[in-house]
Amino acid sequence: MLCGGRGFGRGGGHATVPFVAANPWFSWSYITQHASELLSATRQHVALTVWSVLVATCIAVPMAVVARRWGWSRGTILTGVGILYTIPSLALISVLQAYFGLRPITVEIALVGYALLIIVRNTLIGLDGVPAEVREAALGMGFGPTRLLTRVEIPLALPSIMAGIRVATVSTIALVTVGAIVGNGGLGGLILEGLNNLYRAEIMAAALGCVLLAFIADLLLLGLQRLVTPWTRRRAG
C-alpha cells in the first residue's frame, strides 16, 4: 500500500530512485508540479469560507441584537447556537448531505452553523459593553431605537464583532477541510486524496496551505478592523 504513492518522485526524469516511492513529509516539487490543482482547491476553500462567514455574520449580528433587546430570547438564542456548535462537524455534514447531497451548500450550511456561536457571542459582548451613559446621552439627544442601534451601539461594539469574525474565519478555514468527506472541502480534498494514496507531501502542502490562508485572512481582517474603527487607533496612538 505504501508503494502505491504517485509516480512523481523528487528528481524528475533522471531520478534513480528505487521502486519504493519516496514519501517525503514535504516536497517543493509536489507544490510546483501541482500548482494549478493546489490553486483551484485554494480557490474553492476561499469561496466556501467567505460565503459562510458572510452569511453567518448577516444572521448572527441581528440575532445578537434581538437577544440584547428582548431579554427573554437571550437564553434561548445562546443555548440554540451553543447546541449547534457542540454537534461534531462530521455528524452535521453527514445529516445535511442526506438532504442536500454532495454539493457545496451541504458544507456551507454546516460552516455557517458553527460560525454563528462565535459571532453571536462576540456581538453580545460588544453590545453589553456599551456604557449606559453613552446610551442615555444618545436617547437624550433624541435618538430613536434604530438610530441608537446603528449610530451608537453597533459602532461601539464593532471591535468586538470584528474580533468574533476573525476567530470565526480562522476556525472556518480549518473546518472547511472536513467538507472533503462530501466532496467539497477545498484543500481538504487534497488531504483526503493524500490519505488514499498515503502521500505525505500532498497532505502537508494542503495543511500548510490552510494555515497560510488562515494567517492571511486574519491579517486582512485586522486591517479591515482598523479601517472601520479608526477611533480605536486614534485613542491608542
Partner 1 sequence: MNTILGTWHWLTTAEHYRGTAGVPHRLLEHVVISGIAVGLAVLIALPLGLWLGHVGHGGAVAINVSNIGRAIPTFAILVLLATVPSLFGDAGAVLALLVFAIPPILTNAYVGMREVDPDVREAAVGMGMAGITLVRRVELPLALPLVAAGVRTATVQVVATATLAAYVGAGGLGRFIADGFGLQDTPMILSGAILVALLALVTEIGLGRLEVGLTPGRRRGSPTPGDAAQVRG
In terms of CB distance, is 156 or 160 closer to partner 1?
160
Q: Closest separation between CB of residue 145 and partner 1, Å?
A: 24
Query: Measured from the CB atom, is 2 or 137 closer to partner 1?
Result: 2
Instruction: Using the minimum distance from each CB to partner 1, give the nearer residue, 23 or 147.
Output: 23
Which residue's CB is nearer to partner 1, number 148 or number 207? 207
- Smallest Cα–Cα separation from 161: which of 229, 219, 93? 229
User: From the CB of 158, what's the least distance to partner 1, in Å?
Assistant: 18
- Min. distance of Cβ 192 from partner 1 in angstroms? 8
Nearer of residues 211 and 224 to partner 1, judged by Cβ: 211
CB of 223 to partner 1, least distance (A): 17
d(CA 144, CA 149): 9
Q: Nearest distance from residue 207's CB to partner 1, in Å? A: 4
> Which residues form the interface with partner 1 (CB under 8 A)?
2, 23, 25, 75, 78, 82-83, 86-92, 94-95, 97-98, 114, 118, 121, 125, 167, 170-171, 173-175, 177-178, 180-181, 188, 191-192, 194-195, 198-200, 203-204, 206-207, 210-211, 214-215, 218
Comparing CB distances to partner 1, the nearer of 152 and 210 is 210
Cell of 230: 479608526
User: What minimum distance in Å lies between the beta carbon of 139 and partner 1?
Assistant: 26
